[in-house]
Chain A
Amino acid sequence: FRLSSLIGHISTCPSLIGQCCQRHPGSVDEFQEELVIRPLHSGDIYASFQFRTLWDTDFLQEGQKVSHYRLFPKSLGQVLSKFSVRELHISFTQGFWRTMQWGQPFIPSPPGAELWVWFHDTVSDVDGNWKELTNVLSGIFCASLNFIDLTNTVQPSASFKPLGLGNATDHRFLRYATLPREIVCTENLTPWKKLLPCGSKAGLAVLLKSEKLFHSSFHSQAVHIRPVCQDEQCTSKAWELRQTLNVVFDLYTAGQGKKEWSLFKMFSRTLTEACPLATSSKVYVDITDNPELFELSPATPLLSQAVVLGDRRTYSVYDLSRAETFGQLRSLNLLLRWKGDGEMLRPLLHAERYVAGFGLQTGEIHTVIYNNHPYRAFPVLLMDSVPWYLQLYIHTLTVTSKSRDNKPSYIHYQPAKDRHRPHLLEMLIQLPPHSMTEVTVQFERALLKWTEYTPDPNHGFYVGSSVVSALVPSMVAMNTNFTQDQPLFSSFVPVKEESSYFVRVYTEPLLVNLPTPDFSMPYNVICLTCTVVAVGYGSFYNLLTRTFQVDEPSLPLAKRLANLIRRIRGVPLLT
């Protein structure tokens, strides 16, 4: 398998992007909203919101000054044009997506904050733009993105390709950074909601109440901006802003033992109307496992089939733009009643990571990638960005599958520079069918300068998730036909061929303890050091450098006086 073909798959073909958006002739901007509810095998429930705004302009063209914003948020539009951003992906996640229980998410994201940006190739000072951009975004999203600097920014060579128009491959214009420690809360949700055309006043966004969203097992919100084609021929460009919010509710803790769910229980609101600005506003409920797993009411006659992530799923569709959806009560409150219990899934691709060893000097990072496909081998791209204070011994890098050495066909390694840039390791690994592949690399923990420690150094230091990107062989034929009106959740990463689909899996971040001095006793340390230096060193130095001479014992005073008299008298002196 060649790298170029994989990269080719990840980056998209312009014509496909254009086809996926059905345009109403004559309209300038367009807004779509969508909610997918998928009951998970573990008994949890997964709700995924997607809001898409299309902006019919190309403000990166020379000499064009854009001042009119209709649906597209002005704050983001200005940022895009000022920093010549070609593509921007930002996600804030609280929690870890449990692939083994929940399967694959529609749009994956690592714990904490993740930001990756493709700049336009006219930008001369990419690092400068990146620095300024992160500071601006930090203000827009009320997040600590300003902590992104050169020490945690990398330029992946193959793992992150543009998802929108154009096939840029020069990774000098790409910047990728994660903040695994970032905590996501309501202050990040509010600015995110403000970017929506209807705010949280109408449409699906009324469900986004923070007290419920943050009472869950997993919460992730993201913003994806990319250029797409306006029509099938791709004659002109449009900007697409996709805002996604994924949340997983826990049946055990929030359900109080009852296996029953409703929109009201999940979000403490029901739906009463669509966003008036939206061209489409739909709720999808995954009923593929119906009727064994759960019971859904009110029933809907509208069904839709979609092939998502290598699986053919059936959805009940509730179209909010139609009055009959809301029934006589003028509100839609979906109700799900569980019947059975599910078991652990076997997702085709799954990865995890941990630190092995003990002690504070060395350690070993283990990344384990599972290919659970019964008979197909497929390649994956593994990307690891490790902070400089874990000094990787790259010669200890081993990749083993089925207890045999598995030589990666492509390795891109950029060593770290102390206090300047992190390690970047990218590898293309072929995963044999039904196998476990283990990537290990040893590291040494650096001793930081005393001002470089965080305020809670004994908590440990975070290492961001590693990223596994792959084209996974699909069990069913993937849908490559984009002429029909597709739901948003299945159209984010376009599919190029029927036999495989693109998946990105993030491992858990690591918490590594570094050797930490006892900060609570700097005074004692200073005192002790000073004492040792003053008393010990001083006197030893004195002893070692002094020359000793035997001194003639001086005569007592009486004898000296006697000698004086004797000298005068001229008799022999006393000794």
Chain B
Amino acid sequence: MGLLSDPNRRKALTGLLTRLNTPICIVCYLAGIVWFMGLAFEPFTLRTYMSENAMGSTMVEERFSSGERALSLAKEFDAHKRKAGGMPVEWLVKAMQSRGLEVFTQSFSRKLPFPDENKERYMVRGTNVYGILRAPRAPRTEALVITAPCSPGNTNNQAVALLLALAQYFRNQIYWAKDIIFLVNEHDLIGTQAWLEGYHHTNITGMEYSPLQGRAGSIQAALSLELSSDVITSLDLVLEGLNGQLPNLDLANLFYAFCQKLGVLCTIQGKLQRNDWDTAEGYTHAAQTMMLMVLKQACGRSWGDHGLFLRYHIEAASVRGINSFRHYKTDATTIGRLLEGMVRKLNNLLERLHQSYFFYLLPSLSRFVSIGYYMPAFGLLAVILLLRALDLWVHLGAPALAAVDGVTEAEQPSSPGVLTVLTPVVISHLTGVALYLLPVHLQEMAVEHFPVSETEAVVLTAIAIYTAGLALPHNTQRALYAVVMVLLSPAFTILYCVFIYQELIEAPVSVSEGWMLFLSVISQGILDHALYGSLVYPLLALFIYPCWLMFWNILFWN
């Protein structure tokens, strides 16, 4: 700071900054990117470790043995599901009651703002069934949750059956210190949302639900189970929740520790860990895994049932069974044991999970990048903005400085008046507000006048308003800049992300498929905002898009 109080040195410094601004910016940018990509390189990352003392040393012996019974139960459940044409509520209630749980149901209904074409639903009505296993001599203050979504078709039957088998096994154990809630939710995330809102007696998304009758205190942790086949080759851990929230890293560590112990192949982002970090393939693999995590977090949606728990400060993760064509198979008993071990460890918790990181990136399950390591990369990118702003500021003040010695800066009015600045600002933001509000509200009108479905109407209205914003100023002289601006606009960024994502999950798509995906991504984004309160859509519509529009406007400044 002594540097700045000396006018000569200050002058020298600003001179340096303005002279070398572009090179510094480029260096910062490259350094940021290199730093970030370097994070996936194994020697630069830390090995994961269990921070929570209560879950530290593994003293749990898993004894769950009724995997076979669970599989026959899955068939029974499947039959009842077919018969009921949805969730077999009565059968589930009976099944849970006969296993000694306190069983309750919750019915809910939700009218979507517009039909969801991916999942083919509009008016959603459903019932959640949950059973509470009361811990002996516990005062109902703490609980753990295990959920299994009851999905349409014959997916996820095994998860529900394994849940019931676990409930039966857990009921006969004496070591529980926390109540355990076994939840089977209908209509995946909507059901989970209804249950969570009911449990916490909140209403943030306009859901209609019947109040819950049974509760078990504050929920400490939750696991969501997705399993659709009798044997699996690997288990995938899903951590990304609503608005990019992550559970405590200890939960991932716990999963990894038990996979190691029981010899289960475990993946994250569907990618198996590789040992050859020093080869190019090994590095690319880790980088892809990490980039997938970044992309998934950035899109702000919940990637499993667990994602909605995070808002309520409940550490949660989804465990997804994957059956690919590997030779290595794991049976239901082992998965049951894995869950048993995890739940027992969570049962041992004295406090909420808080010891480990909440902000992290995982290039693999055994390595992590903490916030302290990835923030410098972000800082290097962000410092460019500061440098450019400084440069502009110096240039604005420079003529005045040259004329006299300081002081007179303030007297010179900025060349365009406040009103001329205000108009584009207001118009840009109004366009943003229109982009946020109109697609959903105008869908009926659009459907009346055009031969499109409601969903298409919403998406097309959004695109129409978006494009209309481009019409703001007109000057075709700088066509090249205009093209660059358009290619860097938020919508195109989403489009690139779609392609990058597909590339990363090793399912590349053609341009037309990508376009269809892009359209569905927009409708899903709007739906996620309306249903679960995801913030990406309002952020884009109300903040990033207007800012970009102002750039667009400034570009064509006369």
Residues of A within 8 A of B (CB): 94-96, 98, 100-101, 111-112, 180, 214-219, 250, 252-254, 257, 352, 354-360, 364, 366, 456-460, 462, 508-513, 516, 518, 520, 539-540, 542-543, 546, 548, 550
Contacts and interface: CB of A to CB of B under 8 A. Distances in A.
B371 interface: no
B139 A542 contact: no
Contacts of B201: 354, 356-357, 364, 366
Contacts of B200: 356-358
Contacts of A518: 354
Contact of B352 (A253, A257, A459): A459
B171 A253 contact: yes
B351 interface: yes
A354 B215 contact: yes
Contacts of A550: 405
A402 to B, nearest CB: 13
B7 to A, nearest CB: 7
Contacts of B4: 543
B7 A548 contact: yes
A361 to B, nearest CB: 12
B507 to A, nearest CB: 36
Given A509-B139, A542-B1, A252 B171 contact: yes
B9 interface: no
Interface stretch (B18-26, B130-138, B280-288): B130-138
B450 to A, nearest CB: 41
B173 A253 contact: yes
Contact of A520 (B141, B142, B313, B355): B355
A101 B134 CA distance: 11
B11 interface: no
A513 B7 CA distance: 53
Nearest to A518: B354
B405 A217 contact: no
A357 B202 contact: yes
A276 to B, nearest CB: 34
B174 interface: yes
Nearest to B173: A253
B171 A355 contact: no
Contacts of B134: 96, 98, 217
Contacts of B405: 550
Interface in B300-326: 311-313
Contacts of A508: 139-141, 217
B350 interface: yes
A94 to B, nearest CB: 4
Interface residues of B, number: 34
Contact of B354 (A352, A360, A458, A462): A458
A159 to B, nearest CB: 20
Given A94-B137, A460-B218, A513-B218, A358 B312 contact: yes
Contact of B217 (A219, A366, A511, A516): A511
B208 interface: no
16 contacts: A95-B136, A217-B137, A218-B136, A218-B137, A352-B215, A354-B215, A356-B202, A358-B313, A456-B351, A457-B351, A511-B141, A513-B313, A513-B352, A539-B1, A539-B2, A542-B5
Given A354-B215, A358-B202, A510 B7 contact: no
Given A214-B137, A458-B351, A550-B405, A511 B102 contact: no
A549 B7 CA distance: 10
Nearest to A508: B140
Interface in B116-168: 134, 136-142
Q: Which residue, of B4, B102, B351, has the highest number of chain A Cβ atoms within 10 A?
A: B351
B558 interface: no
A543 B5 contact: yes
Contacts of A355: 218
Contact of B137 (A100, A216, A509, A548): A216
The residue in A111, A354, A356 that gathers the most chain B C-beta atoms within 10 A of its C-beta is A354
Contacts of B102: 100-101
Interface of B: 1-2, 4-5, 7, 100, 102, 134, 136-142, 171-174, 200-202, 215, 217-218, 311-313, 350-352, 354-355, 405
Contact of B172 (A95, A180, A253, A543): A253
B93 to A, nearest CB: 12
Given A358-B200, A462-B141, 8 more contacts: A95-B137, A96-B140, A217-B137, A360-B313, A458-B352, A542-B1, A543-B1, A550-B405
A217 B200 CA distance: 26
Contacts of B215: 352, 354
A42 to B, nearest CB: 9
Contacts of B172: 252-253, 257
A457 B352 CA distance: 9
A531 to B, nearest CB: 14
Nearest to A465: B139
A257 B98 CA distance: 12
A219 B136 CA distance: 9
A511 B142 contact: yes
A192 B436 CA distance: 68
Nearest to A510: B141
Nearest to A344: B102
Contacts of A539: 1-2
Contacts of A358: 200, 202, 311-313
Nearest 4 A-B pairs (CB), nearest first? A539-B1, A111-B139, A356-B201, A458-B351
A112 B405 CA distance: 76
Contacts of A511: 141-142, 217-218
B253 to A, nearest CB: 17
Contacts of A100: 102
Contacts of B100: 252
Most chain A beta carbons < 10 A, residue from B139, B202, B215, B217: B139
Nearest to A112: B139
Contacts of B171: 252-253
A357 B311 CA distance: 11
A542 B217 CA distance: 54
Contacts of A357: 200-202
A180 B139 contact: yes
Contacts of B313: 358-360, 513
Contacts of B355: 520
A507 to B, nearest CB: 9
Contacts of B218: 355, 460, 511-513
Contacts of B312: 358
A250 B136 contact: yes
A360 B218 CA distance: 13
Contacts of B140: 96, 111, 508-509
A216 B201 CA distance: 32
A546 B1 CA distance: 12
A437 to B, nearest CB: 13
Contacts of A180: 139
A540 B5 CA distance: 10
A407 B217 CA distance: 28
Residue among A219, A457, A458, A509 having the largest count of chain B Cβ atoms under 10 Å: A458
A563 B351 CA distance: 81
Contacts of B202: 356-358
Nearest to B98: A341
B353 to A, nearest CB: 8
Nearest to A43: B100
A483 B172 CA distance: 47
Contacts of A462: 141
Contacts of A354: 201, 215, 217
Nearest to A253: B174
A101 B102 CA distance: 9
A456 B142 CA distance: 15
A510 B4 CA distance: 56
B137 A546 contact: no
